[in-house]
Structure 1
Amino acid sequence: MIINKRKENYSKWYNEIIYKSGLAEFSGTRGFMIIKPYGYSVWENIKYELDKMLKETGHQNVYFPILIPKSILSKEENHVEFFSDGCAVVTHSKMIKDNKKLIVDPKHKLQEELIIRPTSESIIWKTYKKWIQSYKDLPLLLNQWGNAVRWEMRTRLFLRTNEFLWQEGHTAHSSKEEAIIETKKILDIYTSFSKEFMAIPVLQGIKPYMDKFHGSEKTYCIEAVMQDGKALQIGTTHFLGQNFSKSFNVMFTNFNGKKEYVWSTSWGVSTRLIGGLIMSHSDDKGLILPPKIAPIQVVIVPIFCNKKNYIINETAEKILKLLKKNKIRAFYDNRKIFTPGWKFNEYEIKGIPIRINIGINEIKNEKLEIFRRDTCTKHYVHINDLKNYIKKLLDKVQNNIYKIALYRTEKSIIKIDNFSDFKNHLNKTGGFILAHWDGTRNTSRKIQEETEATIRFIPSCYEKEDGKCIYSGKYSPQRVVFSKAY
């Protein structure tokens, strides 16, 4: 299976990797995808590891309905205004046959239209009104794993689909300070998860006021740069202030016996993370998956020779048992309908971190051929040393994948003060550009119109620096990060 080269057509390369590795495909309903078993296994591993991190910090999982009454969604004005264009609406509860065709039954029109959730703040805060009465009920640290629907004009697998899987956290607090600490804590959890498990380095920052989550006081984000120089938003956390508690009249009695509105946060990541994995690490041969997220960490491929296949099979089964005993996700592909060469190609496309090849010669010499997907190199290891070697090698692969991505990220960050240089750099290289902005919506809009670049975030990892706006020449108190983005 030949894959288009990244430099020739990045978009086609991305789509082909998804299809040929068996991650996902479009369903036939515009903008909705089918996540295939292999792709869903990647999501399950992401979910498992991130869920552990959230639970370790005191968060509990919960589930709220996918259908939200329109009157409830409408309560927070800024919130509903932002999501109104992309909402899917349920109007009827029954269909009937008419001339052998299914039609909506006009007699079963709903008394109130229901919105398929684009996000859950509204339904959750309606419920919090019942759950929160006193400071003793706070903090409330809840997280939901589910799906959401937001109608999109243009869709791309994993990156932007009408329906996506995600987690969304919704917390309630007794003070502003506690809510802000929570917002930043989750951002740090997302940052650690991205680095440690997905091997994707990210930069933290705050969204400019015109791009913050509608209904929030402040939106924090982490962003990564992909191999084509475009940015990808990995995750966001929102300090909601008292906006939703005021909209839904959620008050609590504080320690002094006085009533006040609850402070809140929300935050989430989605199946967009899988798109980030693909674009951050993969090459022209297919996927490259970090071992900590890979559904299969080691695949064993037998080199059958007809006469002594049973010996190869017995050895492979022992190795499989050994690896699984040591909690390594291993798979033995003993199918005879495919050649070893076909399997090699298949598992390179799927991005399996390590491949062990076993033939009669390897058994005689007691040395196994080990193939690393990240470097596409082979090594020979004595069969008795395999257990410790594989464990260490998985760590080396994980670290190497991260180092490559980190080098690319650091190389992509540049300071620019001239708008002509700004445009040239975006067209040739891309990446993160640190440049001054005068803080106006009009200037950011004009820059986007001329270059397609947007302000991705106001960085928190760089000291403030006075200067002049890259576009207007007006005063700017600090640099912001510009990039073309997905």
Structure 2
Amino acid sequence: MNYSLTKQSKDYSKWYNDIIIKSELAEFSGVRGFMIIKPYGFSIWENIKKELDKMLKESGHENIYFPLLIPKDSLFVDKTEKEHINYKECAVVTHYRLKKQQHKNKFEIDDQSRLKEKLIIRPTSESIIWTAYKRWIQSYRDLPILLNQWGNAVRWEMKTRLFIRTSEFLWQEGHTAHATKEEAIYEAKKILNIYTNFSENFLAIPVIQGIKPNMDKFSGSEITYCIESIMQDGKALQIATSHFLGQNFSKSFNVKFTNANGNKEYVWGTSWGISTRLIGGLVMLHSDDHGLILPPKISPIQVIIIPIFKNKTELNQITTIVDKLKNNLEKQGIRVKYDQNQCFTPGWKFHKYEMKGIPIRISIGPNEINNKIIEIFRRDTYEKHYISLHKITYCISKLLANIQKNIYQKALNRINKLSCTLDNYDEFKKKLRNTGGFILAHWDGTINTVKQIQQETEATIRCIPLNNNLNNMGKCIYSGNPSYQRVIFAKSY
């Protein structure tokens, strides 16, 4: 494979696609918006799933699975037929059988198999889950219900990009039911903090916590909490959302419970999720013109060991040393691969594993064995270090922690550099045109202002920061009308 990449500075979008294809994360499937996640990409998703699943279970949530197909009529949030998801994005199942055309090797839809009730391939599972809640919840003793589902969803996207925006995606969606408003809000915020901790300490993605403005919140929710980050090109990416649903779904599906005083009440709910979009965020935020840069905690392989040899005798000698080293590292929980494939040169392997973003590369040959000094290459800084063979096990563990910290700090520094507070609209437009990034600016609270700003700059309100000072009065950056808070604007994916 040719491991050369389009440079970020030349074509950021092509650079992004090049990395995904050439690092073997994923490829196009032949159906627009649907991708094949290859073993290396899927192993990253498995690491995400393993760590986040552990966090969710430790916080009291249980895994469950609901059907892929949902009756179309159940998608409506209330009796006025206000939909909680854009129906235009839904894939609809109308028939259940094909038939072979007579005298031809072609198939067509069998009109006799038309479904009496149209089914939707799940875009999200609130409707089917709240239908189940109606059967499960009778008393306050049945609450809370804390559920999480790992699965896939389909939303028929018009504009697609590998991992970032696909018609089918893998995700985790949480759904909970509570006896009180306070408990449900606490749950939604708790999940937001879990996502923040996971994003920053595991994926090395710095984020800002906020609330979506009303026109951008999840329909059917009262509050949509979110975490947002900035990619290297200055555009924002929504990392995760957590929704306080209020009683909207319980009223729509008539889910009531008897409280401790014997009175009937509607249940309070939340829903929340992250998806394979996170992998796209990892690529765009951390990678460079040599390929992926993966934080050690998420990397399927943390240490790659490449032997340098001229003959089988030297390879056997190296392998004896490497087997002991690999065993010692794996005892510490470090994920190690020893690539002794003789079909490729060491140089070819160097390029391959740089492209895949392996945090540490160890090169070992007869010279290293004789001198008892091992060469170590850091993917994040492109630096080489030479470490004594008998100290290497201790040093690798420490170095991985240092790499994780460095990758996070580098991303944080970039986001801080790209973030600013502005009060002048001309400066606002110039900033978005030149570098992008987060802009903290006053907004008058109207939809019209948001539409005008988006039309003129392509920027939208990403969130209202949770730490916002509500008494911070000022003037809207666009209209000049009074504003009681600053919000974060940015161009986005």
- Scaled to the shorter chain, the TM-score interval is over 0.9
Distance change (3 Å), C-alpha of 1:133 and 1:81: closer
The reply on whether 1:123 has 2:123 as its aligned counterpart is: no
Native 8 Å contact 1:132 1:252 kept in 2 = yes
> Partners of 2:123 and 2:479 in 1: how far apart?
37
- 1:178-230 C-alpha deviation (Å, 9 max, x unpaired): 00000000000000000100001100000000000011011010000111111
Instruction: Give unmatched runs, 5+ long, in structure 2.
Output: none
**Following superposition of structure 1 onto structure 2, how do residues 3-402 of structure 1 map, counting pairs within 5 Å?**
3-76=5-78, 80=83, 82-98=85-101, 99-306=104-311, 307-402=313-408
Q: Which amino acid aligns with 1:105?
A: D
For residues 274-296 of structure 1, the C-alpha deviation after alignment (integer angstroms, 9 at most, x for no partner) is: 01101111011000000000000
Pair 359,244 (structure 1): closer, same or farther in 2 beyond 3 Å: same
CA contact (8 A) 1:207 1:458 kept: yes
What does the per-residue CA deviation read over 1:118-158, in whole Å, with 9 as the maximum and x for residues that have no partner? 00000000000011110001000000000000001110000
Cα distance change on mapping 1:78 and 1:418 into 2, 3 Å: farther
Partner of residue 484, structure 1: 491
Structure 1 pair 87/358, CA: closer, same or farther in 2 (3 Å)?
same
Give the deviation of 1:409 after TM superposition. 1.3
Q: Any conservation in 2 of the 1:83–1:118 contact (CA below 8 Å)?
A: no
Q: Secondary structure at the match of 1:305?
A: coil
Structure 1: distance between partners of 2:161 and 2:458: 18
Aligned to 1:473: 480
Q: Is the Cα–Cα contact under 8 Å of residues 78 and 214 in structure 1 kept in the other structure?
A: no
Letter of the aligned partner of 2:85 in structure 1? F
Distance in 1 between residues matched to 2:119 and 2:200, nearest whole Å: 39
What secondary structure, in the 3-state scheme, does the structure 1 residue paired with 2:456 have?
Answer: helix
Q: CA deviation at 1:321?
A: 1.7
Q: Does the 8 Å contact 1:145/1:166 carry over to 2? A: yes
Q: Report the CA distance between 1:75 and its aligned residue.
A: 4.5
TM norm structure 1: 0.99
Return the offset for 1:410.
1.4
Query: Any unmatched runs of 5+ in structure 1?
Result: none
The one-character-per-residue Cα deviations of 1:88-124 (angstroms, maximum 9, x if unpaired) are: 0001111110132111111111111100000000000
**Residues 252 and 261 in structure 1, CA contact (< 8 A), matched pair in contact too:** yes
Give the counterpart letter for 1:93 in structure 2.
Y
Change (3 A) 1:38 1:79: farther
CA offset at residue 303 of structure 1? 0.3
Please tell me the residue identity of whatever aligns with 2:191: I
Q: Secondary structure at the match of 2:463?
A: strand
Aligned partners of 2:75 and 2:84 also within 8 Å = no
Aligned residues: 486
- Aligned-pair identity (%): 65
Q: Secondary structure at the match of 2:85?
A: helix
* Offset, 1:82: 3.5
Give 3-state SS (helix, strand or coil) of 1:424's partner. helix
Aligned to 1:437: 443
- In 2, the alpha carbon distance for the partners of 1:251 and 1:175 equals 12
CA–CA distance in structure 2, aligned partners of residues 440 and 197 of structure 1? 37
Taking only aligned residues, the RMSD between alpha carbons, in angstroms, comes to 1.0
- CA–CA distance in 2 between the matches of 1:380 and 1:461? 45
Following the alignment from structure 1 to structure 2, what is the Cα–Cα distance between the partners of residues 431 and 273? 19
Opposite residue 222 of structure 1, the aligned amino acid is I
Q: Counterparts of 2:225 and 2:362 in 1: how far apart (Å)?
A: 43
1:72 Cα offset (Å) = 1.4
Which amino acid letter does the alignment assign opposite residue 382 of structure 1?
A: S
Q: Which amino acid in 2 is paired with 1:87? A: C
- Between the aligned partners of 1:27 and 1:80, the Cα distance in structure 2 is 31
Equivalent residues of 1:138, 1:173 under 8 A apart: yes
